[in-house]
Amino acid sequence: MTGSKIMTNFIDKAFSVLADVILKILPASLKEKKSFSYYRKGMALQSKNRFKDALISYYAALEIEEDPYDRSFILYNIGLIFETFENDEIALQFFLQGLVCNPNLSQSLNSIGALYHRQARLCEREADEWLFNNRDINEEDLDRDEYEFFVELSKELYEQAALYFRAALRQAPDSYPEARNWLISTGRDPNEPILELPLMLNLNDFQ
């Protein structure tokens, strides 16, 4: 999802440039402005890859911010940092918290789909490694349970990825072209109706 992330980073940087002006003209309380200031600082630090300092600023913003809509974006950006370091379990938790605060946060839906997609690819890699490591063993002597486990799990994870990509596209039809292209290229309908979107995910799905 490189292209989407580049665009997201561009938007965040542009937002940081405008933040000083917004802080001066917003009819907000001192508390709200302080929270926004921490958020703005966090985004600026995140754009410079100073992730530890960015997290400190985001956590400070969360301590102050009470509005669910504003909290959702703080939580989402924290999730992005953990996703950068491939800490998928923690990233998932923050993306989900963002959705609880703001169910229309399509960025979180898309990012959850990306996490599932990455985990599915890791399972495929495990299956391929199993085949490679057992290539010299006679078929009748093989116990293929481990291989089948990774194959089936990868299929399930891809289906979950598709579910969240569709949900993101439903919220923002003109966004996430890479998610749409992946759905189409794998024979999945991007516009397929979503009967149920679970917000309580099984973290054990993630390796």
Q: What is the pLDDT along the chain (207 residues), one digit of tens a residue?
A: 555 555 555 545 555 555 555 555 555 567 778 888 999 999 999 999 999 999 999 999 999 999 999 999 999 999 999 999 999 999 999 999 999 999 999 999 999 999 999 999 999 999 999 989 888 887 776 778 899 999 999 999 999 999 999 999 999 999 999 999 999 999 999 998 886 676 545 444 554
The two tokens of residue 128 are 């391929």
Q: What is the pLDDT of residue 16?
A: 55
Contacts of 169 (CB under 8 A, 6+ apart): 175, 176, 179, 180, 190, 191
Helix (H, G, I), strand (E, B) or coil at 93: helix
Helix (H, G, I), strand (E, B) or coil at 28: coil
* Residue 34, CA distances (Å) to 22, 24, 30, 164 in order: 12, 12, 6, 34
Predicted TM-score of the model (pTM): 0.80
Q: What is the pLDDT of residue 25?
A: 53
Q: What is the pLDDT of residue 203?
A: 45
| Residue (of 99, 97, 115) closest to 107 by Cα position | 99
- Using N-to-C axis directions, what is the helix angle for 2-25 and 177-185, rounded to 10°? 150
In the block, tokens 């959705």 appear at 99
* Residue 128, CA distances (Å) to 122, 132, 137, 140 in order: 10, 6, 15, 19
Q: Are 96 and 113 a contacting pair, CB within 8 Å?
A: no
- Greatest Cα pair distance, the chain, in angstroms, is 74
Q: Which CATH class is domain 2-101?
A: mainly alpha
Residue type for 33, please?
Answer: K
Each as own residue / partner, the long-range contacts of residues 60-67 (CB below 8 Å, 24 or more positions apart, any chain) are: 61/35, 61/36, 64/31, 64/34, 64/35, 64/38, 65/32, 65/35, 65/39, 67/32
Q: What is the pLDDT of residue 158?
A: 96
For the chain, residues classed under CATH 1.25.40 are 2-101
